[in-house]
Every structure is written in structure tokens, then in C-alpha cells.
């Protein structure tokens, strides 16, 4: 099941494992005049080379995919935002949307597994098995000294990026998040926003990921990330307790006001909705607000994103804001 459905997350929201791979003897995507040959090789390895994979994956040529559909894929984290632009890109997505294989992003292959909760070991195991299947029919660009060769040197080595999405409202509200980000960076951990590099932490959602891929094994990266996630979870829990202990009435009032705004607003922007839904999520997980909605605040955050909200027909911003408010009112 896709990561945000029926996800009643508290602090740890989701896990993603991404493997970057390139084909031997073929230039990186940014140096290719045409991506069709490399794309055909990879597509055939998945859809023709293995019957199990072929039954589970659907192929999407992003050159012929409507812009609103591509944006919806990015909002669900099935493709990266950069896949929405340019030519020669495509993606394979499995039926339950827990895995996608992006073709011709920065590298020839970006294989990712994304699941709800903290499932780093399980996600890596699944990604590794699919990677092994692909390698039966493809020859990867690999160097005995440097490991998997990638377009960006920061991915060379294991080619693996492990990340965990965390909901950290208390650390943000208490203005401790800057210190946390600095400390994480000194430990070789990157902290990014909701949609990865260069994006903001809308809804107090942060992606925590390994920075090193060279000179360290996949398991070492995963174990280090698990330890950091454990520490951040403890820090967020303590920050929530401190907020409540310092002024429980003020906190309760703030969270109920957020809930009230969402329950009765007639127009609301995506940014405001995420901020308020994050506070409702916090209130519910602290036992201050009741859990009585049809779907979780997290799911509301995702399904009210512009493209997912619009569906097949692209909506103008004022119309989206009205529809978003209505959807949240009916489900919160």
C-alpha cells in the first residue's frame, strides 16, 4: 500500500531506499543525445526479462504523460520533481505504489522503495532483490575501487540513499530544529524538506538521509541512520513534553484553533493546510485532540496537494483552495 494511506504516524512517517545505477558503456543521461536505447534496455530487463517483475510494474513514458499526472506522481513521491521536466524520461511503478524505477533522471536508473513507518532493513532487502534481478540482464557501470559509478560523485560507491521522513513539530515550534540540523550534518546526515533537496519542510516534515556512499557499506549507512532516527525521536518526544509542561493551556488552545480553522475554513492554501494539519497531527498524537476523522491528517496533507486535488482537470488556484477546504472539512 502506498506510504501515506492508513498511515496514522506519530514521529516516524515513512522510509525510502533509493539505488542509483548506470549502464556500462553508455554516457550518463545528461550527456546522451537520445535516451531511447538505454531506456529500451532497462525496460526490457524489467518487463521482458523477468515474469514476476513484468506482472507487477506499469511503464509510463513521461514525454506523453500529462503535466498534472506527472506532478501527482511527484506529490506521491513516486518520482522526483526533476522528472516532471525535460525529455526522454520514464518511470515504472508497481501496482501497490511501494516501488518505482525512474529512468533517465540524473542516472540511468533510480530504483526506490518507499514504505510507511521505520522499515529501513526491509526496504533495502526488497530494493536489493530487484536490483539483483535487473543485473541479471544488464551490465552496470562499476569500478572495483570506487563502486557503482554515478553522474553525481556524492552518490558514487554504494549508490544508495537511505532516508526516513520524520514529523518534528515540537522541535520546530521550540526553535531547536536549526541546532538539530547542524548536529546531524556534522555526523554525515542530511536533513531536507518534504520533497527532498532544495525544498522546505512543509507540515514540519523532514527527510533525514545518509550523506556518505563511498567507503561505507549499505548496512553501515542504514545502522547509522537508524541510530540518528532514534535520537531525533527521543528529542522530539522530550520537546513535546516540555511544550505541554510549560503551558498546557496555551498548547491546547493553539492546537484546537488549528483544528477549528480546518473544520470550518471555506478556502485554504496548500501551505496553510499542511501547517495546520501538522498541528492537528501533533494534537492527536499527544492525546489533546480526538482522532475522529475519516482519514489521517497525514493523508489529508498528501491528497490535497495541487495535482492530486485537481485530478484529470487542472484547477486554478482559487478553485483548488475551495476544493481543498471542502475535502479537509469532510474528512478531518
User: pLDDT digit string (tens) for 90-111?
Assistant: 999 999 999 999 999 999 999 9
pLDDT the model gives residue 196: 55
pLDDT at 54: 84
Q: Give the pLDDT score at 198.
A: 52
Whether residue 221 is predicted with pLDDT greater than 90 in this model: the reply is yes
- At residue 210 the predicted structure's pLDDT band, cuts being 50, 70 and 90, is very high
Q: Quick one: average pLDDT of 132-144?
A: 94
pTM listed for this prediction: 0.93
Residue 184: the pLDDT is 86
Q: In the prediction, which pLDDT does 50 show?
A: 66
* Residue 277 and residue 269 in contact, taking contact as beta carbons nearer than 8 Å: no
Domain 12-237 adopts which CATH fold? Creatine Kinase; Chain A, domain 2 (3.30.590)
Q: Is the pLDDT of residue 197 over 60?
A: no
List the domain boundaries for the chain. Answer: 12-237, 248-331
- pLDDT (average), residues 27-35: 93
Compute the distance between CA of residue 223 and CA of residue 232 in angstroms, rounded to an integer: 14
Stretch among 39-53, 61-75, 145-159, 160-174 having the lowest mean pLDDT? 39-53
Whole-number pLDDT of residue 185 = 86
Per-residue pLDDT band for 49 (boundaries 50, 70, 90) equals: low
Residue 129 CB coordination number (10 Å): 10
**Residue 319: how many CB atoms within 10 A of its CB?**
14
> How many percent of the chain have pLDDT more than 70?
97
Arithmetic mean of pLDDT, 171-193 = 88
Region 300-304: what's the mean pLDDT? 97
**pLDDT surpasses 80 at 255:** yes
pLDDT attached to residue 127 = 98
* pLDDT (mean) for 4-32: 95
Instruction: State what percent of residues in the chain have pLDDT above 90.
Output: 83
Is the pLDDT score of 45 beyond 60?
A: yes
When mean pLDDT is compared across 21-25, 123-127, 172-176, 275-279, the lowest value belongs to 172-176
How confident is the model at residue 188, as a pLDDT?
A: 86
20-34, 139-153, 184-198, 251-265: least confidently modelled range: 184-198
pLDDT at 199: 56
Which pLDDT score, from 0 to 100, does residue 84 have?
Answer: 96
Neighbours of 294 (CB within 10 A): 9
**What is the per-residue pLDDT for 243?**
95
Amino acid at each position: 500500500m502506498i506510504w501515506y494511506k492508513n498511515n496514522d504516524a506519530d514521529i516516524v512517517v515513512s522510509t525510502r531506499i533509493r539505488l542509483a545505477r548506470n549502464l556500462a558503456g553508455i554516457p550518463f543521461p545528461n550527456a546522451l543525445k537520445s535516451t531511447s536505447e538505454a531506456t529500451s534496455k532497462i525496460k526490457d530487463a524489467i518487463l521482458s526479462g523477468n515474469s514476476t517483475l513484468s506482472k507487477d510494474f506499469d511503464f509510463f513514458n513521461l514525454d506523453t504523460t500529462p503535466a498534472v499526472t506527472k506532478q501527482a506522481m511527484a506529490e506521491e513521491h513516486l518520482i522526483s520533481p526533476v522528472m516532471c521536466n525535460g525529455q526522454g524520461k520514464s518511470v515504472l511503478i508497481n501496482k501497490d505504489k511501494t516501488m518505482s524505477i525512474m529512468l533517465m533522471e540524473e542516472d540511468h536508473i533510480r530504483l526506490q522503495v518507499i514504505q510507511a513507518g521505520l522499515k529501513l532493513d526491509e526496504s533495502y532487502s526488497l530494493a536489493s532483490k530487484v536490483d539483483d534481478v535487473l543485473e541479471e540482464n544488464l551490465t552496470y557501470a562499476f569500478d572495483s575501487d570506487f563502486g557503482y559509478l554515478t553522474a553525481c560523485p556524492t552518490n558514487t560507491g554504494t549508490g544508495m540513499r537511505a532516508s526516513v521522513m520524520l514529523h518534528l513539530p515540537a522541535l520546530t515550534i521550540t526553535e531547536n530544529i536549526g541546532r538539530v540540523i547542524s548536529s546531524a550534518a556534522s555526523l554525515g546526515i542530511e536533513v531536507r524538506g518534504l520533497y527532498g533537496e532544495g525544498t522546505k519542510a512543509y507540515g514540519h516534515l523532514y527527510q533525514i538521509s545518509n550523506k556518505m556512499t563511498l567507503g561505507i557499506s549499505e548496512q553501515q549507512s542504514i545502522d547509522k541512520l537508524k541510530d540518528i532516527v532514534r535520537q531525533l525521536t527521543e528529542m522530539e518526544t522530550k520537546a513535546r513534553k516540555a511544550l505541554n509542561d510549560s503551558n498546557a493551556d496555551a498548547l491546547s488552545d493553539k492546537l484546537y484553533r488549528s483544528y477549528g480553522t480546518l473544520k470550518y475554513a471555506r478556502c485554504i492554501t496548500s501551505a496553510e493546510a499542511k501547517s495546520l494539519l501538522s498541528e492537528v497531527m501533533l494534537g492527536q498524537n499527544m492525546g489533546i485532540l480526538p482522532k475522529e476523522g475519516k482519514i489521517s491528517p497525514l493523508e489529508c496533507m498528501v491528497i490535497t496537494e495541487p495535482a492530486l486535488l485537481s485530478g484529470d482537470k487542472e484547477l486554478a488556484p482559487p478553485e483548488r483552495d475551495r476544493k481543498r477546504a471542502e475535502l479537509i472539512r469532510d474528512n478531518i
